[in-house]
Amino acid sequence: MAGDDEKLYAGRWVARLRGRVIAQGGTPDQARHAAHSRFKETPEIIFMATNSPLIFPPILDSVRKALPEGTAIYLVGGAVRDALLARPIHDLDFVLEKDAIKIARRVANTLKADFYPLDQDRDTGRVILTNADGSRTPMDFAAYRGPDLEADILGRDFTLNAIAFNLKDNTVHDPLGGAMDLKEKRLRACSPSSFKDDPVRILRGIRLAANFGFHILPETRDAMKESANLVGLISPERMRDELFRLLDGLQPATCLRALDLLGALDKIFPEISALKGVKQPPPHIHDVWEHSLAVVSHLDALFIALAPDYDPDTASDLLNGLLVSRIGRYRRQIGETFKTPLSGDRSQRSLLLLAALFHDIAKPQTKITDDEGQLRFWDHDQQGAEIIVSRGRALMLSNDETSRLETIVKNHMRILFHINRLVGEGKPPSRRAIYRFFRDTGPAGVDICLLALADLHATYEQTLPQDVWIAALDVVRTMLENWYKKPSESIDPPPLVNGDDLMQELNLEPGKLIGDILETLREAQAMGKVSSRDQALQIAREKVEELKE
């Protein structure tokens, strides 16, 4: 009978008398109230676990053994949520009444892991265990945020993250009904003041709803909207971290639109509002704002199509099928490129999505009508690069990340130029053009290639001619082939001579001329015009003679 109850009421709170379930609810109070309305005796209020046992990483057993006898400690947050959803668990967050830093240090010593005191005032410490395969498991230990566990749970962001698992007796503590919200796919704030207490939760809520496919309850959505004006008060570092998690998650374009509808996006990116309503000439079918969102959406779809585990048989349309057939051969290299962070744990994929949002950011300020009545946006790429640099610095991005953003936005039109030339004149990129493109963009050249495809698709949408799309894929395939397959031939050929050789053989003094000659020789090598030291020196002599004339 008990087994039947567990299946029937899985994920619910129940009131039980003499071993029999007499009432149930989404929270303990609901179950208690339902029982008291029918029975005078005091029932036992318990949570009925899900039908499947919760599975946690084996490291949890090691943590349990490292704890002092009698220590009441709970696993909370995303780990419990993901266990209930049978999803992979990455981070482990623990709470206890006191001495969290002391306990964290003890666990670290026992497991021979690294320990860091995160916040002495809030009694929070971090343990990072390096696993046998080189991966790392972070574990945070914190004292209750309040007088007891109930207060700690009430002060959390969303009910799906407000479920606690008792390490000592393996019981689930869920006073706010988070397990039922998981089951019903609802996103609900823990308290009416949740977003006023911490506005970054607005970004987190949008991300969680998108990642889990949950519906944000109306009262939670209204509370988000009421606190949207506070988003600008978030510290740059916390804003950056939550924003990049959002961009790296599912449906980033939908998330950005949701933030805009809530009135929060212009607090994150004040530059964005100027894009709205700025019309563009054909073949554009969107204004600049809608186009920018569409580019993010198409770029996200492109990453999915080029993922290492993508099944080409699931190509949803002709354009996607052509994409996979023409450049899918580089999916492994692309996957490795974009999962590697330039700084911290922010992926290059999320950085490129940010560049996509900002690639036309300077169009409002560069918009003019030429003598023929055509709308033009001269120099919007160069001015846009300056804007994205400022935004990158405001978000406290690293110099490498900011430089990458600048390069992408500054050069985002170059692949489109080659596409138009191939369509109009039948001329593919020359060896000189390929060399100069990657000379100026370096690794960001791959980013620009993918951005160009998304940009083109967003420009035409469903009106995109098949021949234009094929030309675009051919240009990008040529670029990727040279970058991934022939770098020593066409991108960065090994030098045939160096500066010392030039000074000795040509009797030159150190200076800018040496660098100019070496660059001329590199380009000549990439074009296949020189392949030996003697040929290189002869070209160098000719260059010097030209300057003398």
Q: Per-residue pLDDT tens for 432-491?
A: 999 999 999 999 999 999 999 999 999 999 999 999 999 999 999 999 999 999 999 999
Q: Is a pLDDT exceeding 70 seen at residue 159?
A: yes
- CATH number of the CATH domain containing 218: 1.10.110.30
337 and 479 in a single domain? The answer is: yes
pLDDT of residue 319: 85
Q: What is the residue range of 37's domain?
A: 2-47
142 and 10 in a single domain? The answer is: no
Total number of domains constituting the chain: 5
- Final residue belonging to a domain, choices 184, 216, 235: 184
Q: Which pairing describes strands 368-369 and 375-376: parallel, antiparallel, or unpaired?
A: antiparallel
User: What distance in Å separates the CA atoms of residue 523 and residue 418, rounded to the nearest whole number?
Assistant: 19
Mean of pLDDT over the chain: 90
156 and 291 in a single domain? The answer is: no
What percent of the chain is modeled with pLDDT above 90?
66
Q: With respect to residue 318, please indicate whether it lies within any of the assigned structural domains.
A: yes
437 and 540 in a single domain? The answer is: no
318 and 385 in a single domain? The answer is: yes
Average pLDDT over residues 273-294: 97
pLDDT of residue 287: 97
pLDDT of residue 101: 95
Q: With respect to residue 190, please indicate whether it lies within any of the assigned structural domains.
A: no
Comparing 27 with 1, the larger pLDDT belongs to 27
Q: What is the DSSP string of 448-473?
A: HHHHHHHHHHHHHGGG--HHHHHHHH
Comparing 533 with 39, the larger pLDDT belongs to 533
117 and 175 in a single domain? The answer is: yes
Q: Is a pLDDT exceeding 60 seen at residue 3?
A: no
Q: With respect to residue 67, please indicate whether it lies within any of the assigned structural domains.
A: yes
Q: Is a pLDDT exceeding 90 seen at residue 43?
A: no
412 and 542 in a single domain? The answer is: no
Q: With respect to residue 52, please indicate whether it lies within any of the assigned structural domains.
A: no
Average pLDDT over residues 212-224: 96
- The secondary structure of residue 131, as a DSSP letter, is P
Comparing 31 with 64, the larger pLDDT belongs to 64
What percent of the chain is modeled with pLDDT above 70?
94
498 and 483 in a single domain? The answer is: no
421 and 498 in a single domain? The answer is: no
Q: With respect to residue 54, please indicate whether it lies within any of the assigned structural domains.
A: no
207 and 109 in a single domain? The answer is: no
354 and 475 in a single domain? The answer is: yes
Report helix, strand and coil shares of the chain as percent, to nearest 5.
55, 10, 30
| Most confident segment among 161-170, 410-419, 513-522 | 410-419
Q: How many CA atoms lie within 13 A of 244 on its CB side?
A: 24
Lowest mean per-residue pLDDT among 259-263, 296-300, 315-319, 474-478: 315-319
Single-letter code of the amino acid located at 484: Y
CA dist 197 → 42, 190, 194, 201 (Å): 36, 11, 5, 9
pTM of the model: 0.87
Average pLDDT over residues 307-329: 79
Q: With respect to residue 53, please indicate whether it lies within any of the assigned structural domains.
A: no
pLDDT of residue 5: 55
- Final residue belonging to a domain, choices 452, 469, 490: 490
Q: With respect to residue 512, please indicate whether it lies within any of the assigned structural domains.
A: yes
- CATH number of the CATH domain containing 149: 3.30.460.10
Average pLDDT over residues 155-167: 93
Residue 280, C-beta contacts closer than 8 angstroms, at least 6 positions apart:
286, 287, 288, 291, 363, 375
- Final residue belonging to a domain, choices 490, 522, 539: 490
Q: With respect to residue 139, please indicate whether it lies within any of the assigned structural domains.
A: yes
Average pLDDT over residues 311-328: 78
179 and 296 in a single domain? The answer is: no
